[in-house]
Amino acid sequence: MKKNITWLFAAALLILLFSACIKDTDFNETIQLTPVVELNLIHFNLDAGEFYDEATATPILTVRDTTELRFLEESTIQESVTKAEFYYKFTNSISRDFLIDFQFLNEANDTTYTTQALVSQGSIASPVLSEHFDTLEGDPLLQLFEASKLVLHVTISSSDENVVGNLNMQSKTTYYLEF
């Protein structure tokens, strides 16, 4: 009995192997890989005091920072990326609105791509979450690849010695590649 079951199992396996759908398989067809890569871009946590100079009793309406973007210079990456998505998340507990300018620059400090985000005012008791998305394809994506640094301008609507709270930003970039 055991021999008959083994023989039946072997016959069924052979039938399945020889009747598998391989007729329509094109072995000359290329395989296309389309990985998705997520990277942290930039982040900051600004205290409201950074927008006011106590020594001179004057507001500082714009805070600026520069970040190098060397990974965008790799030709392999440039040739493989078909789309880039940028995600910026802001948490604002300062009772002022903000305008955030993202300026991508090349080595000669020429602007290759820009975008802006508006951040609504919040409060210590009730911080406000704001999100901003950018999707780049085609020419804007090519302009992005020319950039070697990102200059960030954080502009507050007004400031004085009584302004309190924090502005926090986290961001990531998602790259869609095709090989």
Compute, in degrees rounded to 10, the torsion defined by CA atoms 45, 48, 49, 52: 120
Q: Is residue 1 part of a domain?
A: no
Q: Is residue 4 part of a domain?
A: no
The Cα-based distances of 165 to 65, 76, 96, 121, 124 in angstroms read 20, 43, 10, 10, 6
- Which candidate, 93, 106, 98, 89, places its Cα nearest to that of 148? 106
Q: Is residue 137 part of a domain?
A: yes
Q: Is residue 19 part of a domain?
A: no
Q: Is residue 84 part of a domain?
A: yes
pLDDT the model gives residue 8: 54
Give the H or E element holding residue 6.
helix 2-18
CATH number, domain containing residue 137? 2.60.120
- Domain range spanning residue 119? 26-177
Q: Is residue 85 part of a domain?
A: yes
pLDDT the model gives residue 32: 73
Q: Is residue 5 part of a domain?
A: no
**Tally of domains within the chain:** 1
pLDDT tens, per residue, the chain with 179 residues: 545 555 555 555 555 555 555 556 666 666 777 889 898 989 999 999 999 999 999 999 999 999 998 766 667 777 888 999 999 999 999 999 999 999 999 999 999 999 999 999 999 999 999 999 999 999 899 888 889 999 999 999 999 999 999 999 999 999 998 88
Reduce the secondary structure of 146-164 to three states and give it as a string. CCCEEEEEEEECCCCCCCC
pLDDT the model gives residue 84: 93
Q: Is residue 12 part of a domain?
A: no
pTM for the model stands at: 0.77
Question: In which residue are the tokens 């095709």 written?
Answer: 178
